[in-house]
Amino acid sequence: MRRIALLIALAIAMMGLGSGCGFKDIDKRFFVVAMGVDSGRQPNTYKVTLRLAVPSSKIESGKAVSEVESFEAPTVAEAVRHLKSLVDKELDFGHCRVILFGKRLMEQSMDEPLNWLSRRRDISMVAFMAMAEPNAHEVLQLSPLSERYPGNALLLSFGSEGTESSYTLTEYLFDFMRRRTETGMDGYLPIIRRDLDGNSYHVDKVAFMDKRKLRLSLTPEETQLFNISAKRFDKSFIAIPYQGTRIVLALTQVKVLIQVSEADNPQVTLRIRASGFLEEGPPNLLKGNASMIESHLQKEFGGQLEDLLYKIRNNGVDPYGFGIRYLAQHFGQAKEWEKWKKAYPQASFRVVTRIVINKAGLVK
């Protein structure tokens, strides 16, 4: 009996050896560092573009080597399977930290690509997401001279390890998926595009979506306002004209409080307190004029932000989450949600600003 048991164990071991090993060595893998999805040339198709890292022994600026492959298919899953036949190594999505969607695709529907992304266990939920103009394929083909390794420029553009700009918003896959399903809140994506020379990326605008498709894109100035008021980004600035010149206040602290009234015609009150120092302005500007300048800043900034809130409301999106705040006051009942959907297009906004100038900066 013992001999029979040993023979069975040996047979099972031999079967395992015969079937091969599922693990692939690093030199037999292509690491996907960025992925793009566009609308295909044919109806109801998707063009999937992958940027693949080519390992190199040297890590220097301008020496990053990558390979860009794309394929068009009726589904994202089919396109990825076909892309495997175009390369000689196994595709590994474990390092895919940037996912781009083409503008035309976002104007139609993102449901199927997002469904595929949420089902793949090797896609990181902390991957950065963005909208690409004019399309993801053209953006992913760019290899900036400053890149030390493939995809490095894209990661530094969105992550806090590199540049931190008030014109650049960061959005993760997990948060975007939450906004797509959360009642009373809509999604947004930063917009990335190539510069005119084709040597670097521009990430200075934001796009808003409802639960299905693109509804609105902001200008760089409006994007900065949204970043300050919605994301509380405190490494920003306020620039306004004042008595024939232009002054720039560099912010160091931002606090925001949002209140939604319970009336049939709701009023949204946004209270924002910001403080900072004068980064640019004429000499001796603050001598006896500090309170007057603060009042002027409050009026100009509050008016700009109020105009932005009405623009967002008129396009039928709610990236601030006013609806979810309203529902929080009514236990999230279904009838209250229907009431809010009818009331939001007529909602009014009141912006209360308090801006404090701490100092005039360093003057030598």
CA angle 96, 100, 106 (to 5 degrees): 145
Q: What is the mean pLDDT of residues 319-347?
A: 90
30 vs 214, residue with greater confidence = 214
Residue 21 covered by a domain: no
pLDDT at 127: 94
Does the structure show a pLDDT above 70 at 55? no
Residue 17 lies in a domain: no
Residue scoring higher pLDDT (53 or 287): 53
Which pLDDT does position 19 carry in this prediction? 45
Query: Are residues 278 and 344 located together in one domain of the fold?
Result: yes
Residue 252 counted as domain residue: yes
pTM of the model: 0.87
When the pLDDT of each residue in the chain is averaged and rounded to a whole number, the result is 86
Give CA separation, 283 vs 205, 249, 286, 347, 355, in Å.
33, 14, 8, 43, 20
Q: Which domain holds residue 258?
A: 221-364
User: Is 20 within a domain?
Assistant: no
- In this predicted model, what pLDDT tens digit does every residue of 74-118 receive, in sequence order? 999 999 999 999 988 889 898 899 999 999 999 999 999 999 999
pLDDT the model gives residue 311: 97
Average pLDDT over residues 122-137: 93
pLDDT for 197 beyond 90: no
Confidence of residue 18 (pLDDT cuts 50, 70, 90): very low
Q: Is residue 115 located within the same domain as residue 197?
A: yes
> Following CA atoms 308, 164, 272, 185 in sequence, which dihedral angle do they give, to the nearest 10 degrees?
60
Q: Is residue 63 part of a domain?
A: yes
* pLDDT > 50? residue 20: no
Residue where a domain terminates, one of 183, 217, 251:
217
Check residue 131 and give its pLDDT.
97
- Domain identity same for 106 and 168: yes
- What is each CA distance from 271 to 173, 306, 311, 319, 335, in whole angstroms? 29, 11, 18, 17, 29
Which tokens hold the place of 27?
């030199």
Contact 253, 237 (CB under 8 A): no
Place of tokens 């209270």: 271
Q: What is the pLDDT of residue 256?
A: 96
User: 95 near 64, Cβ under 8 Å?
Assistant: no
More confident residue, 280 or 364: 280
* Domain match, 186 and 280 both: no
Indicate whether 8 belongs to any domain.
no
Each residue's pLDDT tens digit, 225-259: 999 999 999 889 999 888 788 889 999 999 999 99
Whether the per-residue pLDDT at 214 is higher than 60: the answer is yes
Whether residue 201 sits in one domain with residue 96: yes
197 plus 65 within the same structural domain: yes
Instruction: Identify which has the larger pLDDT, 134 or 25.
Output: 134
**Is the same domain home to 324 and 239?**
yes
What's the whole-number mean pLDDT along residues 13-18?
50
For residue 233, tell me if it sits in a domain: yes
- Asked if 210 and 319 count as a contact pair (C-beta separation under 8 A), the reply is no
23: pLDDT strictly greater than 90: no
Neighbouring residues of 336: CB distance < 8 A, sequence distance ≥ 6: 326, 327, 330
More confident residue, 15 or 135: 135
pLDDT of residue 364: 42
CATH number at residue 292: 3.30.300.210
* Same domain assignment for residues 187 and 308: no
Average pLDDT over residues 158-180: 89
Does the pLDDT value for residue 1 go beyond 80? Answer: no
Of the residues 182, 217, 252, the one at which a domain ends: 217
321, 185 contact by CB (below 8 A): yes
Per-residue pLDDT band at 305 (split at 50, 70, 90) = very high
Per-residue pLDDT at 361: 60
Q: Identify the CA nearest to 167 among candidates 239, 223, 232.
A: 223
Are 242 and 354 members of one domain? yes
Instruction: State whether 164 and 63 are in the same domain.
Output: yes
Q: Which pLDDT score, from 0 to 100, does residue 29 have?
A: 80
pLDDT (0 to 100) of residue 62 = 52
Among 166, 186, 217, the domain-final residue is 217
Residues 358 and 231 in one domain: yes
Mean pLDDT over residues 203-226, rounded? 95
| Domain match, 228 and 301 both | yes
Residues paired with residue 241 on neighbouring β-strands, in sequence order: 246
Residue 120 has pLDDT above 60, yes or no: yes
Residue 363 lies in a domain: yes
pLDDT average, residue stretch 209-218: 94
Tally the domains of the chain. Answer: 2
pLDDT value at position 258?
A: 95
Residue 4 pLDDT level (bands cut at 50, 70, 90): low
